[in-house]
Amino acid sequence: MILESALKTFQKFYKLDVTGSLDSATIKNMMIPRCGVPDITNLTSSSKPTSSSHHKSKMFHMVSRYAFPKGMPRWPSSKYQLTYTFRSGVQNPNEADMRGDHGDGNAFDGRKAIGNLLAHAFYPQDGKFHYDADDDWSSNPNKNQFDLESVAVHEIGHLLGLEHSQDSNAIMYANIPPGTIKRKLTQDDIAGIHALYPN
């Protein structure tokens, strides 16, 4: 009964046929590599992103443990000016390789795992995001690699307070197959930012 309910919730979120059964479409969706942030969260009122809590300054201090090939990834521009900075989280670049259990309570599962977790981020004001060093990253991915910038833009969305989207075209959609480049905001992404950062 609990498993059936969980499957129905998953199927509804991903706009699959809601059967409550572990059917082939559900399994196929579960196998797509994804962000490690949960799709449905039960955040407390003190940690849940809101437009009125910690977003007043519009300046975030975030930690990135990787250098990006073409400079700092930016949340694509919109009419809202969001300012954030990156600072190094480690002195030695070798310390940046995060694999498995890396001390934040959100262990990575390694390359080629079922339901491969690629990266995760923490909502404001923690400001950290991590990539799984076991996955194959590239700024120009082939069909077996993951696009570093696409995943960074997604994780920055979490750093800004966005949750996962049900729109499969959105940057904030949880799943991203290898070889996919997704760097442009959709209307759903923009609406989420506008809800968190109103005029």
> How confident is the model over 32-91, as pLDDT tens digits?
888 878 887 664 433 444 443 333 333 333 333 333 445 555 555 554 555 555 555 555
Tell me which residues are annotated as active site: 155
Return the half-sphere exposure (C-beta side, CA atoms, 13 A cut-off) of residue 97: 5
Categorize the per-residue pLDDT at 124 as very low, low, confident or very high, splitting at 50, 70 and 90: confident
Determine whether the annotation assigns residue 154 to a binding site: yes
Give me 89's structure tokens. Answer: 């989280």
**CB under 8 A, 24+ apart: contacts of 11-19:** 13/39, 13/40, 13/166, 14/166, 15/166, 15/168
Top-confidence residue, 129 or 72: 129
pLDDT at 75: 56
Q: Show Cβ contacts of residue 173 under 8 Å, excluding neighbours closer than 6 positions.
A: 164, 165, 166, 167
Determine whether the annotation assigns residue 31 to a binding site: no
Top-confidence residue, 151 or 111: 151
Give the SS3 label for residue 12: helix
Neighbours of 43 (CB within 10 A): 12
Top-confidence residue, 78 or 123: 123
pLDDT at 188: 94
Residue 24 in this model has a pLDDT that exceeds 50: yes
Residue 21 in this model has a pLDDT that exceeds 90: yes
Determine whether the annotation assigns residue 61 to a binding site: no
Give the SS3 label for residue 79: coil
The Cα–Cα gap between 63 and 35 comes to 18
Determine whether the annotation assigns residue 136 to a binding site: no
Upstream peptide bond of 187 is cis (omega within 30 degrees of 0): no
Q: Kindly report the CA angle at 33 between 145 and 153, in degrees rounded to 5?
A: 75
The Cα–Cα gap between 186 and 111 comes to 29
Q: In this structure, what are the phi and psi dihedrals at residue 119, rounded to the nearest 5 degrees?
A: -160, 170
The Cα–Cα gap between 147 and 70 comes to 13
pLDDT at 123: 76
Determine whether the annotation assigns residue 120 to a binding site: yes
pLDDT at 69: 45
The pTM for the full model equals 0.70
